[in-house]
Amino acid sequence: MQYRLDVAIAGGGPAGCAVALSLRNRAPHLSIALIEQTNYETARPGEVLPGAVRALFENLGITEAFEREQWRPAHAVACAWGTPVLAENHSIYSWQGHGWHLDRAKFDGFLANQAEARGVIMFSGKRVDGVDRNDGGWLVRVSGGTAIHARFIVDATGRAASIARHIGSPPVSLDPLIGFSRFFPACEGSDPRTLIEAAADGWWYTAPLTGTHRVATFMTDPDIARQYRLDRESGWRQFLDRTSFIRTAVPGGQSVGAMVRPAGSAYLREPAGDGWIAAGDAACAHDPLSGQGIMQSLRSGILASYAIADWFPDASAAGLERYRHLTKRGWSGYLAARHRYYLEEKGWPEQSFWQRRHHPG
């Protein structure tokens, strides 16, 4: 089947959906396709959404629809970072209000449904098999024999940045951080907070999810993970048992699921070019310690949509140049904040994980 459209978006996560939704608001005359390789059925990283996201939801026009889903409120984050005790940050003291615990697959599916309801053509359970330039823009080959002829293409494929790689703009990685997550049935009366705790070889977080489960994740570097076999539950549990606070919140017994994912900081030197743009983690991937991953993806998608709308109808490069500038400025600010935050933890200055972050080079 053949489609001729204005914009093809590869990746149906928060960034890709934000591009689609924002474009429908800003340039409703444009025809848009959103291509997502999953059916939103498997677990995805990113489980807590801060209250500050309300402004972005208003921008996208999805506030009321989001509230109807009745997500579980997240009222507090407690951190043992740079101190041996937990310091709590409660939403009652924030003008932004409480955040939410998410089932990420459900949340991403919600965003995609909102885009489809507004006229975006949705290809779920389909992968992008190839992308090539043609006279009218791009030929996007989709699994199952579909071909999309698009004037503009968006890379929202996450850390893989597969479209940017194909074009010749691969991401630059700053560190090899990797997350080892395990999922557990939640126990009655379990800690409702998100907990973060530094450890000798990395750091931990745990949070309740929408529904009846809890996730616990250890962030470390690949060489440490290989040495201690953190891919095995027994090795993972040994590290968990050394924590002071995380272990008390994580249920005993076997986990009911596991996930290993890259989590390091990475960026594109050129996040946009003639007829294409990268959004979300494809443009700039943040350390989960920032707690801004989903928000950053939504914001990036909205800004990308502004650049795309400006590009039509005469292929003006001005919007793309503004997007490059804003993305690079945001990346510089993130790096400075990341460095400061890692320097706050001084408990294990001789451990390789912390040396790499205290003295990057």
Q: Which of helix, strand or coil describes residue 361?
A: coil
Specify the pLDDT at position 186: 80
17: Cβ contacts below 8 Å, ≥ 6 apart: 34, 108, 111, 112, 114, 115, 301
270: Cβ contacts below 8 Å, ≥ 6 apart: 169, 324
The correct answer on CATH 3.30.9.100 for the domain covering 178-262 is yes
How far, CA to CA in Å, does 104 sit from each of 248, 274, 329? Answer: 24, 32, 28
Specify the pLDDT at position 227: 97
Specify the pLDDT at position 218: 98
Q: Which of helix, strand or coil describes residue 160?
A: helix
Cα separation of 60 and 298, whole Å? 9
Q: Can you spell out the DSSP letters for 74-116?
A: E-EEEEESSSSS-EEEEGGG-TT--EEE--HHHHHHHHHHHHH
347: left (phi over 0), alpha (psi -120 to 50) or beta: alpha
Q: Are 74 and 194 in contact (CB under 8 A)?
A: yes
CA atoms 40, 284, 207, 175: torsion sign? positive
Place of tokens 């590290």: 239
Specify the pLDDT at position 91: 65
Cα separation of 335 and 331, whole Å? 6
Mean pLDDT by 10 residues, the chain (361 residues): 95 98 97 96 80 95 94 89 90 74 91 98 96 92 95 97 94 96 85 93 92 90 97 96 95 90 95 96 95 92 98 92 96 95 96 93 63
Specify the pLDDT at position 290: 87
Q: Can you spell out the DSSP letters for 131-159?
A: EEEETTEEEEEETTTEEEEEEEEEE--GG
Say which CATH topology domain 2-72+102-174+266-336 has: FAD/NAD(P)-binding domain (3.50.50)
How far, CA to CA in Å, does 68 sit from each of 63, 72, 117? Answer: 9, 12, 16
Question: Domain coordinates of the chain in residue numbers?
Answer: 2-72+102-174+266-336, 178-262
* Assigned token pair, 144: 């199952």
Query: What pTM value is reported for the model?
Result: 0.94
Cα separation of 331 and 271, whole Å? 11
Cα separation of 52 and 61, whole Å? 15
